[in-house]
Structure 1
Amino acid sequence: MNDLNNLKNELANVGRYLLAHELAWGTSGNMSARLDEDNMVITASGTFMGDLGQDDFVITHIPTGTYEGTRRASKETPFHTGIYNRRPDVGAILHSSPFYSTMVACSETSIFSELFIETMYYLENIAYVNYYHPGTEELGKAIAEKSEEANVIIMKNHGVVVFDDYLTEAKMRLETMEMACRMIITAKSSGIMLNRIPDKVVTSFLEDSKYKPRKILGGQKK
């Protein structure tokens, strides 16, 4: 079991980092971290990502979605609980709408991972879900289902969700996603052709380079 106060502080630090690095803005995002097998800590509804205090988090029961206290949990609680229920390996979830990632989500631009070291690792598995209104059971169900095949989910005309074992790794996934989107969009607008790393080299990197243990869906690691 994680320490509650430390977990809140870590989430607050991540929120400040995301805002400072233009990975979040205003109230347009939410975060959670697993407290134990059956409970998570999630940002309260209407909180500002860059100005989070101890009272801006809500303990929520993962199997039922019910929460403690007087603050209302984020309206996006259904997809957070959905991911944790289907992915016992996941310890942290970030949802945000950074500029370039959201531009991709609002277009038919394809994201590919064969660009550089971090994209090969952090963007190996990306899934897409169609637009559903925020906070709906439909959105929660769609994201939960896709979480079994990806660690990054692009929400059409909405933003992106990333998740990993720890907050530090989830933050790196989000930052890598935004970097890749920015690179792809800038190259397109500048007429620059990006060279992709060959599939054989990508496989070798993921399996043999010892950069990081390859994250296999469902929590198994090679």
Structure 2
Amino acid sequence: MRTIRKLGQEIIDVGQYMMNYGLAWGNSGNVSKRIDDDTMLITGSGTYMGHLDETDLVKVTISSGGYNETGKRPSKEIPMHAAIYQARPDAGFVIHSSPFWTTFAACTNLQIESKLFIESMYYAERIAYVDYYHPGSQELGRAVGEKAKEANVIILKNHGVIVFDSSMQEARMCLETIEMTCRMAAITKMTGLNPAVLSPDTATDFLDHSGYKPRRLW
């Protein structure tokens, strides 16, 4: 159990952080961390994101979805998480959640523009969309796996969002950034304001030459 605690502390910490800052609510959402090429640690089914401990974390085999049947059941969203890890060897941490503004965007035809500010240009450089499939379904997992090849922010229609990155800190920043970007998009729509969208050339120049962070290789 101590080993699980050590491996999963980042999951426990990010669950509390998400709850504290309105990025999760109740037992909605799930988080996973890659342990090795074919193993992930994922939150258990029905766990409360703000009160996670080591007993809420389950080791799952990525390729098969298998886990220890005598312990806690893992989240039903194994297919989504596993598909991301299989499609993206660079993925080390996955967060699925339904924060208000991003879920608002997922339930409407709100258009999300990433060429707005530094963080959105980097963390939301590519946003993909997946049509509604039932949570935990193989169909949803396959659709997310395909979109993960081209984007690390995937908005799930009428569901929420799933993000991934190399580390917990970067995945959390992806989630925070898409939530802020969706909030800005909704407010500009409601107020009639016109956002000052940067040109594609400016965004590309920023990503290639600003030195903010190494540009992702898609």
Q: Same fold (TM over 0.5)?
A: yes
How far is 1:188 from its partner? 1.3
Provide the aligned length of Structure 1 versus Structure 2: 215
RMSD: 0.9
Match of 2:187 in 1: 186
Query: Distance between the aligned counterparts of 2:43 and 2:4, measured in 1?
Result: 13
TM-score by length of 1: 0.95
Q: Which is further off, 196-205 or 95-104?
A: 196-205
Pairs within 5 Å for 1:38-187: 38-68=38-68, 69-187=70-188
How far is 1:128 from its partner? 0.5
Query: Distance between the aligned counterparts of 2:10 and 2:201, measured in 1?
Result: 38
Pairs within 5 Å for 1:175-214: 175-214=176-215
CA displacement, residues 144-186 of structure 1 (integer Å, 9 cap, x when unaligned): 1111111010000000000000011000000000000001111
Pairs within 5 Å for 1:3-14: 4-14=4-14
CA displacement, residues 113-169 of structure 1 (integer Å, 9 cap, x when unaligned): 110000000001111110011111111111111111110100000000000000110
How far is 1:6 from its partner? 2.6
Query: Distance between the aligned counterparts of 2:5 and 2:30, measured in 1?
Result: 18
Q: Which aligned runs of 4 or more in structure 1 are off by greater than 3 angstroms?
A: none
How far is 1:4 from its partner? 4.1
TM-score by length of 2: 0.96
Segments of structure 2 that go 5 or more residues without pairing to the other structure are none
Q: Percent identity?
A: 51
Segments of structure 1 that go 5 or more residues without pairing to the other structure are 218-222
Q: Do the aligned residues in 2 keep the contact of 1:4 with 1:35 (CA within 8 Å)?
A: no
